[in-house]
Structure 1
Amino acid sequence: MSKILNQVLLANREYSNDFEKGDLPMPPGRQFAILTCMDARLDPAKYAGLAEGDAHVIRNAGGRASDDAIRSLVISYKLLGTREWFVIHHTDCGMETFTNDIMSGLLDSSLKTSSVDASGWHDGGEGQGSADGKYINWLTIKLKFPNY
């Protein structure tokens, strides 16, 4: 196992041993949901003043209303009683740093992690890439297969 996996498993064990919120109802107590970015610099609980059980938080790249995010929000409303939804974006979002062509090109070049600097994105390695990236609209995350 990796060092990070061990750290996560240990933290989870400690969290679950001390967890006292299991009796909270499934519907969020404050009856709202947030759709926001997955940016690791942001903590929705802190910037929205949330405690466990307060709200649903749906996160994805760029806080986009993708098909999956909409599915989650509809379930949040229809089955779990949320009455308000907030879409919260932020400054310096990574989704503003590339286009569909850039992402597709990076994937086509290789499957290694890319890097970015002042001149733009750069492929991270050699080897087999994937041309399938051209079938995805990366900025809205909708498939664009012909006849789909």
Structure 2
Amino acid sequence: MSAFDNMLVRNKEFAAHVSSEGTPMPSLPESLPYVKSLIITCADMRVDPAHVLGVDLGEAVVMRNIGGRITPGLIEQIGMLGRIGQVAGETPGGGGEFHIVILQHTDCGITRLAGDSALLANYFQIPETELEAKTVLDPRSAIAMDVAALRAITALPASWIISGVNYDVTTGLAEVVVPPAPLRTA
């Protein structure tokens, strides 16, 4: 049996125990108050928020990219999520606490691209001369930088909570690098 066949078998087991019938489409919290978190993380298969943080189905919107980094493309996707809620006619101001978690990790593949400045500059959509500031070799600094980048987006509600976590793929432990705090002081 192939890996894909195994996935389909596991899907049938999953479907027998879980139903998302009636669960609204995910969006940003001002349009859907039941979504309580947005987790931005790496595409690395070792860093699955369902396992690393115990996130249940429907509990968070999970956005993944190489390095779990804040890029212009990711910011555009966040904006599109907000627009989905608007088009669906959901009422803004969904209420309750909303938490953005930046989840990066040790031994990230993006560090292996540090010598390919043209590729990384294109990924971050910046000149190669500014690439060093992205700290691709240091996940803790990258987390702090990415939290700061989201805090600078004034279109995001100041009351949203943001934190940054570094997951150690060797020990399985998550270290809080940026403690939870509002995006901005009102």
CA distance in structure 2 between the aligned counterparts of 1:142 and 1:93, rounded to whole angstroms: 16
**Structure 1 length as normaliser, TM-score?**
0.57
What is aligned with 1:40? Answer: 45
* Structure 2 CA distance for partners of 1:40 and 1:140, relative to 1, 3 Å: farther
* Structure 2 CA distance for partners of 1:49 and 1:17, relative to 1, 3 Å: closer
1:6 CA drift (Å): 1.4
What is aligned with 1:141? Answer: 123
Q: Does 1:13 align with 2:8?
A: no
CA distance in structure 2 between the aligned counterparts of 1:67 and 1:143, rounded to whole angstroms: 7
Larger radius of gyration: 1
What is aligned with 1:115? Answer: none
**Aligned-pair RMSD on alpha carbons?**
3.1
Matched AA of 2:105: H
For residue 36 of structure 2, the aligned residue among 31, 41, 65 is 31
For residue 71 of structure 1, the aligned residue among 76, 89, 100 is 76
CA distance in structure 1 between the aligned counterparts of 2:54 and 2:13, rounded to whole angstroms: 24
1:36 CA drift (Å): 0.5
Moved segments of 4+, more than 6 Å: none
Structure 1 counterpart SS, 2:40: strand
* Structure 2 CA distance for partners of 1:51 and 1:137, relative to 1, 3 Å: same
Runs of 5+ in structure 1 lacking a partner? 103-135
* Structure 2 CA distance for partners of 1:31 and 1:139, relative to 1, 3 Å: farther
Q: How many residues are paired up? A: 110
CA distance in structure 1 between the aligned counterparts of 2:122 and 2:54, rounded to whole angstroms: 28
Structure 2 counterpart SS, 1:53: coil
CA distance in structure 1 between the aligned counterparts of 2:37 and 2:122, rounded to whole angstroms: 23
CA distance in structure 2 between the aligned counterparts of 1:139 and 1:55, rounded to whole angstroms: 30
- What's the % identity of the aligned pairs? 28
CA distance in structure 1 between the aligned counterparts of 2:42 and 2:122, rounded to whole angstroms: 13
What is aligned with 2:102? Answer: 87
Further displaced range: 10-19 or 88-97? 10-19
1:67 CA drift (Å): 3.4
* Structure 2 CA distance for partners of 1:48 and 1:59, relative to 1, 3 Å: same
What is aligned with 1:114? Answer: none
Superposed CA deviations along residues 8-60 of structure 1, whole A, max 9, x for unmatched, are: 22222332343322222324634220111112112212333311111100111
CA distance in structure 1 between the aligned counterparts of 2:106 and 2:121, rounded to whole angstroms: 16
